[in-house]
Amino acid sequence: MAETTMEQPSLAGWNKPDLDLTGAEWRSSSRGRGDVQIAFVEGFIAMRNGGRPECPTLIFTPAEWGAFMSDAREGEFDLT
């Protein structure tokens, strides 16, 4: 399901491209918890708050995404 989003601010200086996310196919967690959504766009991974899609989107390279997922699985970001 494609959704439109507001134009994202430039990421110049962050070595990330200005991705056009207007046609991105956002996916939610398979467990249905939280509002985190991801989309695979032009070889990058975009992550946003599905409850507030107008807010800024995080852009990850595949290597960054792999490191993030590995740390998440190991409980690095567990705030409970």
Residue 53 confidence (pLDDT)? 86
Cα torsion 41, 43, 47, 50 to 10°: value is 20
User: Is residue 8 over pLDDT 70?
Assistant: no
Residue 32 confidence (pLDDT)? 59
Q: How do beta strands 44-49 and 58-60 pair?
A: antiparallel
Residue 19 confidence (pLDDT)? 87
d(CA 54, CA 14): 21
Q: 37, exposed or middle or buried, with CB in 10 Å at 0-12, 13-18, 19+?
A: buried
- Backbone phi, psi, residue 39, to 5°: -145, 145
In this prediction, residues 57-61 reach a mean pLDDT of 92
